[in-house]
Amino acid sequence: MAWMLLATTSFSQPKDNAPYSSLGLGEPTQHSLATMGYGGLSAAFIDPLHVNYLNPAHSAWMSATAYEAGAYFDRSKLKFGGESAKVWGGNLTHLALAFPLFNPLNDVLEKKKRTFFWGMHVALVPYSSIGYDVRSESVLPQVDTVLQIFQGTGGLNRFMYGNAWRYKQFSFGVNLQYLFGTIESERRVQFQSLDASYDDVFIDNIALRGWSWSAGAQFKHYFNAGPDTKTENLRSLSIGVYGQGKSNISTTSQVLRLRENYSYTPFQSDTLLVGEDVSGKGKLPAGFQAGLMYEHGQRLKVGMEYGFEKWSAYENEAKPDQMRDVARWAVGVQYTPNPSSYNNYWQRVRYRIGFYHQQDPRLDDLNKVAFTFGLGLPVILPRQQTSFVNLGLEIGRYNTSNAIEENFVKMAVTFTLNDTSWFLKRKFG
């Protein structure tokens, strides 16, 4: 059997030819772009000026309202059996808003030391993306050379709403999530040399909907906190964990089976099967992430993380696929030479590096590995409030023994705008 990898030029899909996105719910997407540069760490990541909706406990640590939006661009090289193709892609990654319900400036003005905190966030993020155009050619003895064309588009999205509460250095949060999207796929079977042969066409359009939840906790321990300890000398260790439970999904499918022949004039088509609004059910798996992060003031962050998802429990009546349980581990470092420098901008930049290894549930031996790099560029806005432009770079590959090999370079940018005017008490007199 020979495989032909065809790339289109459309920018509308997250990737114009990602062959593995034909399996399951598509290609999982990366959301934690603020930490993309150091391995995509999220479980123990605590930053009062950035959004971390993956661990819902994080919002209770916010010191300012944060608006965040991100986008990415990637280039992949696909290889199989001596053939290769270069593909391109890009899209928006997320829109998010997180804010504290108690403005810290009020506590400063009132000379009040607070021990209880409450934060909230909303986010719209992709869950998976689908975009592929793959052709498989095989020879049936004494029959014909058969060409199969597999094409698909679509993807799933998540809308998240979360609350988090913190008492002193311990926080807990909960996310409510709504999953929605469509999967559009077409398979065409062509007999190459048979005169006047009909093509077999299989079209499936599936709409998915479902509710899910996730919960998380974070704890931050200071080793040398004291009344005389300067902020830049504080040393701490953060511990974080979050996970989601098994959730149900519902599907509505449009099914069409045709036989088509372009050899005749006019064009010939026979409808073999039509299925309208076919209902189905499914299940998404449970999983968790756990991590540690050591911090030395605002200069240094060093973290590691492990995650597990039980994809063997995945079910989908509309698109049944066999999945496997998967694990992910990542490490990362962020270093800022001098966060309080006044005369050297590059001393305040956050420099990031990391690595991750991630098993993929769609094939038994499919693994994703990547080195990551990033910059956190501070931007001073009116009222001296610091915001950020985060740049991330991933260089990696999908490893597998007997399928399509994919090497990729992914570039991403996130804009984080911070505002301290929410819930600020105005005093007159």
Q: Where are the domains of the chain?
A: 2-419
Fold type of domain 2-419: Porin (2.40.160)
What Cα–Cα distance (Å) separates residue 167 from each residue in 2, 175, 219, 337?
60, 19, 10, 31
Residues β-bridged to residue 86: 77
Q: How many helices (H) and strands (E) does the chain have?
A: 2, 19
Q: Quick one: average pLDDT of 329-348?
A: 94
pLDDT band for 429, please (50, 70, 90 cuts): very low
Cα distance between residue 58 and residue 119, in whole Å: 8
Closest-CA residue to 31 (of 40, 23, 20): 40
Query: Which range (12-26, 65-79, 396-410) has the least confidence?
Result: 12-26
CA dihedral 344, 347, 349, 352 (to 10 degrees): 160
Cα distance between residue 280 and residue 130, in whole Å: 20
Q: How many CA atoms lie within 13 A of 69 on its CB side?
A: 3
CA dihedral 336, 372, 327, 45 (to 10 degrees): 20
Share the mean pLDDT of the chain. Answer: 86
What's the pTM?
A: 0.87
What Cα–Cα distance (Å) separates residue 343 from each residue in 335, 338, 347, 376?
18, 11, 9, 18
What Cα–Cα distance (Å) separates residue 249 from each residue in 181, 209, 258?
11, 6, 29
Task: Encode pLDDT of 54-99 as tens digits.
Answer: 999 999 999 889 999 988 888 888 887 777 788 888 888 889 999 9
Residue 48 pLDDT > 60: yes
**How far, in whole angstroms, is CA 67 from its chain's centroid?**
18
Name every residue whose Cβ is closer than 8 Å to that of residue 344 and which is 6 or more positions away in sequence: 338
Q: How many CA atoms lie within 13 A of 371 on its CB side?
A: 2
* Residue 385 contacts residue 418 (beta carbons within 8 Å): yes
First to last CA, the chain: 83
Cα distance between residue 44 and residue 101, in whole Å: 22
Question: If you ran DSSP here, which 8-state letter would residue 49 be given?
Answer: T
Cα distance between residue 56 and residue 216, in whole Å: 6
Write out the E strands in 226-321: 235-244, 247-261, 268-284, 287-296, 300-309, 315-316
What Cα–Cα distance (Å) separates residue 9 from each residue in 17, 161, 282, 319?
10, 35, 34, 27
Cα distance between residue 278 and residue 281, in whole Å: 10
pLDDT band for 106, please (50, 70, 90 cuts): low
Residue 196 pLDDT > 50: yes
Q: What is the per-residue pLDDT for 119?
A: 95
Top-confidence residue, 173 or 92:
173
